[in-house]
Amino acid sequence: MFKNGASKETNRKAKEISAELRGLPPEWNVDFDNAQLRVVYTKGSERTWHHPTLGRLPEPWYLKIITKPNGDIRYYNPDTEEKTMRDPRYTDENLRKVTQTAPKEHQTSASSRRNRDQYGRPLDLNLFERAPIKNYDYSRDFEVVHTIDDGQGGIGGMNGGVFVVRLKNVKGARLEVEKKFPPDLLQFAKEEIGIVRKVRHASMTSYLSSFIVEQGPRPCASLFMEFCDRGSLRDLIRQYCKRNEQPVQRIPEPFAWHVFGCLLDALSFLQIGVSLAQHPDAQLDPKWVPILHRDIKPDNILLRSRSTVGTKNYFYCVLSDFGLACFEYPDGHPLQNDAQKSGGKCGTSAFFAPELCQDPYPRDPRERFPTGFRHSRRSDLWALGACIFVLCNAPHPDQDLSHLSFGSMKVDPSLWVAGQQPRRDKGKLTISVRYSRPLQKAIEIATAWSPYNRPSPQRMLLEFNTLLKASGFTKPEPPLPEWATRVHEYFGKAERNSKR
C-alpha cells in the first residue's frame, strides 16, 4: 500500500490510517524504513524515530506498517510481536519504568498520569500522592525545552520566568511547566503553590512538584505543573478570528458546552472540594476552605490533549494561573487575604463582573472596588460566562474582548475597561441565534448583571445540566478543525540528537 518516500499521497494515506500520525505538526511528514517497515518522521533534512509532539515510544515499541491484510499502521513490539492500536506510552508497565528511572525525589511527579487509566476509565485524583514541597533548588535536574516567558513581564509580573522543561536523562519523561518565583515574591509563591497543590480536578492545573528556598544566598521557588500542549482558549478564539472564509466558520456548539461544563465543575470544586460531575450528590467537605480564582479569562483557560491518541473526545479544558487566587476565609479571620479585606483590586479589568466596576468609570485613586464589593464565587462565575460568550462570538473583530461594548471612549482605556459603561447592554450577555436557546440561556444566567441574581457555581451547574440535556448537544461532534489549536513540537526539540 505504501511506497518509500515522503510523497503527499504517502502522507495522506498514512494519516488517514494512524491517529498518531494525524497529530503531526504541519511541517512534519512521514517516511518508512524499508528493512523494518518502520515509520520515520521527517522535516526537511531531519529524520527521527521520535514523534515531535508526543515524544518517544517506550522501548522496544515502534510504529510499523502491518502489511496484512490491508496495510494498517500499528504500534509494534518486536520482542513479543504484539501489535496494537493502544498507545503504549500510557500503559501501567511503561509508567512504572519511567518512575523507576527517575531520581528518587522526582518519582512521585514522574509517576503522575493523566485523568484516565490506560483503558479510558476516569481516575479518582484524590487517591494520588502529592510530592512534598522541598526546601532546596532542584531546577538543575531539568532541561529547558522552551521558554514561555523569560521573566521580564511578557506574560505577567508575578513570576520569574515560565518554561517548558523535562527531567534530564529519563527516557519517556513527560514535559512539565516550571514557573519560577524571584526572591521578592516568595510569599506569593507559598500561596500559589499551596493552592495548586491542594486542588485535584481534571479541569485545573495539575501539580507535579515544587520547592521553596527561603534561606541562604539565593532564595528562590519553583512550581512544576503538567504541560498543556494545545495552547489556550484565547489562542483558539484568535485562530477562528483569523479565518477569512465563506461560509464563516463558527465554534461548534458541543465544544462550547464542553468548555462551559468542565470549568463550571472546576469552579464548584473550588467551593466545596468535590467534583459534582463525579459525585452529583456530594456536599461541602467540612475541612475544605473555599477558593476564589479571581483572574478567569481566555488566556488562563488551557487546552490539553487526551492521552488516548485518536479519541473523538474534545481536549481537556484546564483552569490555570492561580497566582491571584486566594482562600475565601470569612471576614475577620486572621488568614483572610489582604485584598479581600480591603476590597483592593486584582485580576484583569476586562473580565471584572459588573459589581466590581465603578459607574461609569473608576474614581478612587487608591484602586478599590466599589464599597461593599470584592471578588466572590459569583464574580468568578460572571468571568467564566463572559469567556463562553466570547468563544461563541468568534470570529469577531474585537476577538477576545467581544463581551465589551466599544462605544465612545472619553477616558483612559485602562479606566474605561474597569468601568460599568462598556459592559454590554448593562445586562445579561446574549449570544447569536446561531446557537440553541438553552446555550443562550446558560450564558445569560451566568452573566446576570446583579450578583444577587446570579447563582453560585454549584447551583449554576445543576441548571447547566438541565439546559445541556434540553439542547441535545451532548456528543463531541463535530470535531474541532486541525488549525483551531496549536501543535507544539517540543519533544522534537528535546530529542533532536537522540538516536535509537
DSSP string, 183-222: GGGHHHHHHHHHHHHH---TTB--EEEEEEE-SSSS-EEE
Lookup result for grid cell 509532539: 53
Q: What is the pLDDT along the chain (500 residues), one digit of tens a residue?
A: 444 455 677 677 777 778 888 878 888 888 888 777 888 988 888 888 888 888 888 889 999 888 765 668 889 999 999 998 888 888 878 878 777 788 777 876 666 655 555 455 555 556 566 788 999 999 999 999 999 988 776 555 567 899 999 998 887 788 999 999 989 889 999 999 999 999 999 999 999 999 999 988 889 999 999 999 999 999 999 999 988 777 888 999 999 999 999 999 999 999 999 988 888 888 888 889 999 999 999 999 999 988 777 678 899 999 999 999 999 999 999 999 999 999 999 999 999 999 999 888 887 666 789 988 999 999 999 999 999 999 999 888 888 899 998 877 778 888 888 888 888 767 778 888 899 999 999 999 999 999 999 999 999 999 999 999 999 998 888 889 888 998 888 877 776 644 44
Contact between residue 386 and residue 333 where contact means Cβ atoms under 8 Å apart: no
Q: Cell numbers of 180, please?
A: 519560577
Q: Cell numbers of 92, please?
A: 501501567
H helix intervals, 199-272 = 233-242, 253-272
Which H or E run includes 72?
Answer: strand 72-77
Query: What gap in Å lies between CA 120 and CA 308, rounded to an integer?
Result: 7
Burial of 12 (0-12, 13-18, 19+ CB in 10 A): exposed
At 474, is the secondary structure helix, strand, or coil?
coil
Return the number of other C-beta atoms located less than 10 Å from residue 122's C-beta. Answer: 12
Burial of 155 (0-12, 13-18, 19+ CB in 10 A): middle
Query: What gap in Å lies between CA 34 and CA 51, rounded to an integer?
Result: 19
Query: What gap in Å lies between CA 435 and CA 446, rounded to an integer?
Result: 16
Report the residue count for the chain: 500
Closest to 296 measured CA to CA, from 333, 270, 328: 270
In the prediction, which pLDDT does 110 show?
A: 67
Domains observed in the chain: 8-85 (no CATH), 95-226 (3.30.200.20), 233-484 (1.10.510.10)
Q: Cell numbers of 399, please?
A: 476577538
Query: What gap in Å lies between CA 255 and CA 261, rounded to an integer?
Result: 10
Query: What gap in Å lies between CA 201 and CA 198, rounded to an integer?
Result: 10
Query: What gap in Å lies between CA 305 and CA 195, rounded to an integer?
Result: 24
Virtual CA dihedral for 370, 375, 377, 378, nearest 10 degrees? Answer: 30
DSSP tag of 107: H
In the prediction, which pLDDT does 323 show?
A: 92
Phi-psi region of 254 (alpha: psi -120 to 50; beta: other; left: phi over 0): alpha
Closest to 264 measured CA to CA, from 377, 99, 141, 407: 377
Cβ within 8 Å of residue 317, ≥6 positions away: 203, 233, 258, 259, 262, 263, 301, 302, 303
Query: What gap in Å lies between CA 458 and CA 319, rounded to an integer?
Result: 17
Query: What gap in Å lies between CA 351 and CA 399, rounded to an integer?
Result: 14
For residue 362, is the peptide bond before it cis, meaning its omega torsion is within 30 degrees of 0? no
For residue 280, is the peptide bond before it cis, meaning its omega torsion is within 30 degrees of 0? no
DSSP tag of 215: S
Contact between residue 276 and residue 461 where contact means Cβ atoms under 8 Å apart: yes
Residue type, 79: D
* Residue 132: alpha-carbon gap to chain centroid: 23
* Beta-strand pair 207-213/162-167: unpaired
In the prediction, which pLDDT does 498 show?
A: 45
pTM confidence score = 0.90
